[in-house]
A and B are shown apart, each in its own frame.
Chain A
Amino acid sequence: MSTRYDAIVIGGGHNGLTAAAYLARAGRKVLVLERRHVLGGAAVSEELHPGFTFSVCSYVVSLLRPHIIRELELARHGLEIIPLDCSFLPLPDGDSLARWGDPERTRREVARFSRRDSERLHEFGLAMTQLCRFAKRIIDSPAPDPASLDPRELMKLLRLGQAMRGDSTDLRWLNYKLLTMSAADFLGLWFESDVLKAPMSVSGIIGTFLGVRSPGTAYVLLHHYMGEIDGAYRAWGFSKGGTGGVSLAIANAALAHGAEIREEAPVARVLVHGGKATGVVLENGDEIHAGAVLSSVDPNLTFMKLVGEEHLEDEFVGNIRNYKLRGSSGKVNLALDRLPEFACRPGDGPHLYGDIAIAPGIDYLERAYDDAKYGDFSSRPYINVVVPSLVDPSVAPPGKHVMSCFVQYAPFDIKEGPQRWPERREAFGDAVVDTLAEYIPGLRESILYRQVLTPWDLQEEFGLTEGNIFQGELSHEQLLFQRPTAGWARYRTPVDGLWSCGSATHPGGGIMGSPGELAAKTLLASRSV
């Protein structure tokens, strides 16, 4: 191979593609290498059953940064997001709670469980919006380095402090509470009703191996709250054609700027000469050289597998080994021959058009965590269900539906050992279908096809070590200037010329695009390519 690139991006997920698009847009010659036959990484759509397209892993979009949509002109390149209107909570006793875009309607629904809570929803939303405004300043730029005495770094910290100065004292205290409390306790500052707190608190545990009563989960709650669609916070939406549609739009942008993308091109290792990354070797033996190598895969794969410990200092290796991945969730995707009908709210109502939570109480969620703590998947898990075919008919044949179920907890480290997950896969799938069937009596008979993804599968098929959907937990010690590890939070790595641009870098996981964007912008600013 004689072609020389300015940059090679390992991994064709949405972050890798975003980095590539930004580099190509700046006139750099970029090559993206994707191991699988399809682009998207965990933001991928696949037709696994004839006529049924699944958002195989990630399934809703909100965090994708608005400025990335503008700068890469993603709307022109095919991005279409359809907002979700409702959050529906079926309850085992035949009751249910739906929270709508219409605030008065939501107030009335919540008032059936707690009048006080119903009247405080607005204040909670207001507080979260204020916290989001602060968080937005943090997620849209590289993390400041608090250990540095460089005046530029100190200025950045100062600016963050000033950003907070405009906020009221109450809000500042609330910020500290957010960083230290559990999701359940944090919500308890406003609400009393379990029926409201439970489905709201689950945002705090998604992708972490923690329970809704574990301190620190309140922040993850905000991470899921700060998404915005067209300027509205907390809005989530379906990507037309599945979440792969987001990746394809970014890929189209990258291609339009002249980037090259190869699928089925697995990287075997990063070429390191004299402490500097000079390119990659593919599994087929091809060597490709570049001025910079950007890895969008997680730190474990990047450093332990692709770089190799021999090129790294022991302390750094130790830090990467201690980086918490420990996946806690799985995914069950169903092709259905009819619309799921909930016993508590029968029929094709608007309550089905948003996300549906199987989270009937805080205790239920904590019990689901108990199973996981001791090496089992939850016998009655938290499930987040969406039926995107209701608003996007392109993903299923007429009258038929796809049902996407995010399931927690499914610990990577089951007691039999993670490599035994394939033997437990169908039992896990059964637990999910059994749980859902308690609310949707006709579900089993309507299933045409079932795909079960365990954390093991997420690792083996999607390259997410230990099946962690965020490439590392969003816990405080792994955020900001410590993501993935202290001293290496600014997209550079100890290997000169090797950069990180995946969810394991600031500001973290979710279909945000920020790690890819910020890595590319940092690389460009360094003038090394």
Chain B
Amino acid sequence: MPVPTPFHPRTSELCHSLLWKEWSGYYAVRSFDTCHEREYFALRHSAGLIDVSPLFKADLRGPGAADLLSLVTVRNLRKLRVGRVTYLCWCDDDGKVVDDGTVTRLGDTHYRLTGNGPLCAWLDRYTDGFDVEIEDTTEAYGALALQGPTSRAILVEAAGPEVEKLKFFRAMEARIGGVPVGITRTGYTGDLGYEVWVGRDDALAVWDRLMEIGRRYRIQPAGLDAMDVTRVEAGFVLCGVDYFAAHHCLIDERKSSPYEIGLGWAVNLEREPFVGQQALRAEVERGPVWKFAGLEYDWDDYEALFDSHGLPPQVPSGAWRDAVPLYDQRRRQIGQATSGAWSPIMKKNVALATLRPAHAEPGSRLRIEVTVEYERHTIGATVLPTPFFDPPRKKA
């Protein structure tokens, strides 16, 4: 039985569709309307406000915090400057990804780690010898993702002009309606956007203030369905969908290295030892078994397939996450598309895929399974670089 997040009194009032899902043990809105479309377009054209409180959070304090995080994760966090955020993943000894998330350096010896799953037991394995206090702050903070082109204007009005200067992947402290908050310029939509971190008791005041100011900027409460479409457009992998937490996998084939899920760029290999480093070095030498890639369905094939059944082309109404097989031109399976969506903003049918490296170069042609009227077919698809959607305003 899920529990409410700190924003539940507001989200439950607004969720007319009664479409909820369970997210890490919390009630989370799938979409406020019966269709998520309005929320999606708000995220891309004005601003969407998403309750992301179920994200797991841990605060690490002490002189050993940077060393511990640099040992556990794939990045050297001693180099991260105060007020900056970085995206990363962490691995087991075999170099297989346990989870991905962000680290924010809030102070000289104060870091905040976020992730999809519980963080503390994993960190606890490595804390011996480090002068660090770890606090599970998942319950202590509510989190709101304010994402979309008008998000900056809303936050400037709500939290002050300093927000204007906040650069991509930077963090600052501010007040909204008198309430102290943390603001990071981060998000899961691949767009201009911010995440606001607030003590749970003050959560509603911040929600109310953002909604009130946001009205003039066409703010819209948004649910996970709309966010899911945007994260596919942004090419972000999702733990439990596009890859699986290594320490929760029953079989080795289910596990992935950072190089296999498109996070190789986050790995700093040449530095002092960290968990999984040896295995990752060996993998770089050997070459990964899989590669992460974006795909675009051939529209003409797609339309022709539906036409052969006497149907107009039907694009998926939301993001999907039931993996479908991918084949080479000789019909050998070469991987799978793990999630995908029709992108209303790009007018493209896209998917995120795990592929044999030989087929993963942008421009590669392959075949993807499509089911029409209960019949399985394959149609052509092309490998594209991710992110599919990458507006200049994201970093501007």
Are B122 and A107 in contact, CB atoms less than 8 angstroms apart? no
Instruction: Name A119's closest neighbour in chain B (CB-CB).
Output: B121
Alpha-carbon gap, A506 to B121, bound state (A): 39
B124 at the interface (CB under 8 A from A): yes
Q: Are A115 and B250 in contact (CB under 8 A)?
A: no
Give A119 to B296 CA distance when docked, in angstroms.
38
Residue B358 CB within 8 A of the other chain: no
Inter-chain contact B3/A108, CB cutoff 8 Å:
yes
Total residues of chain A contacting the partner, CB 8 A:
18
Which residues of chain B come closer than 8 Å to A118, judged between CB atoms?
Answer: 118, 121
B109 to chain A, nearest CB (A): 22
- Is residue A391 within 8 Å, beta carbon to beta carbon, of the partner chain? no
Which residue of the partner chain B has the closest CB to A104? B25
Binary interface profile of A, 102-146, with partner B (CB < 8 Å = 1, else 0)? 101101100000011111101100100110000000000000000
Contact B22 A104 (CB under 8 A): yes
Contacting A104 at CB < 8 Å: which of B24, B119, B249, B250? B24
- With beta carbons under 8 angstroms apart, the residue of A107, A119, A120, A126 that contacts B25 is A107
Q: Which of A117, A123, A168 contacts B247 (CB under 8 A)?
A: A123
Q: Give Cα A102–Cα B1 distance, bound, in whole angstroms.
A: 7
Q: Which of B2, B247, B250 contacts A129 (CB 8 A)?
A: B250
CA distance A409 to B250 in the complex (A): 37
When distances are taken between beta carbons in the complex, the residues of chain A under 8 Å from B22 are 104
Give, as a whole number of angstroms, the nearest-CB distance from B114 to chain A.
15
Interface membership of B136, Cβ < 8 A: yes
Most B CB within 10 A of own CB, among A104, A105, A123: A104
Q: Contacts of A130 on B, CB cut-off 8 Å?
A: 250
Assembled-state Cα–Cα distance A119/B124 (Å): 11
B1 to A, closest residue via Cβ:
A105
Nearest to A123 among chain B residues (CB) is B247
Interface mask (B237-269 → A, CB under 8 Å = 1, otherwise 0): 000000000011110100000000000000000
Residue on B nearest A168 in the bound complex, by CB: B252
Contact B1 A116 (CB under 8 A): no
B120 interface residue (CB < 8 Å to A): yes
Q: B110-155: which residues lie under 8 A (CB-CB) from chain A?
A: 118-122, 124, 136
Contact partners of A107 in chain B: CB under 8 A: 25, 118
**Complexed CA–CA distance, A123 and B247 (Å):** 7
Residues of chain B contacted by A129 (CB below 8 angstroms): 250
Contact: B2 with A119, CB < 8 Å? no
* Partner among B2, B121, B250 whose Cβ is within 8 Å of the Cβ of A120: B121
When the two chains form their complex, are residues B25 and A116 in contact, meaning their CB atoms are under 8 A apart? Answer: no
- Given A102-B1, A104-B25, A105-B1: A119 touches B120 (CB 8 Å cut-off): yes
Chain B residues with CB below 8 A from A122, complex form: 247-248
Question: Quick one: closest A residue to B245, CB to CB?
Answer: A122
Residues of A within 8 A of B122 (CB): 119
Question: What chain B residues lie within 8 Å of A116 (beta carbons)?
Answer: 120-121, 124
Task: Give B120's nearest chain A residue, CB to CB.
Answer: A115
Which residue of chain B lies nearest to A117 when distances are taken between CB atoms in the complex?
B121
Instruction: Report the separation of the CA atoms of residues A122 and B2 in the bound assembly, to the nearest whole angstrom.
Output: 18
| Complexed CA–CA distance, A130 and B249 (Å) | 10
Closest to A127 in B: B250
Interface flags, A91-111, vs B, CB<8A=1, else 0 = 000000000101011011000
- Closest Cβ of chain B to A192, distance in Å, is 10
A126 adjacent to B3 (CB under 8 Å):
no
Known: A115-B121, A116-B124. A105 touches B136 (CB 8 A): no
Beyond the given A104-B22, A126-B247, please list 6 additional residue pairs across the A-B interface where CB-CB is below 8 A.
A104-B24, A108-B3, A116-B124, A119-B120, A120-B121, A126-B248
In the assembled complex, 7 residue pairs joining A and B whose CB atoms fall closer than 8 Å, in A order, are: A100-B1, A104-B2, A105-B1, A105-B25, A108-B25, A117-B121, A119-B118
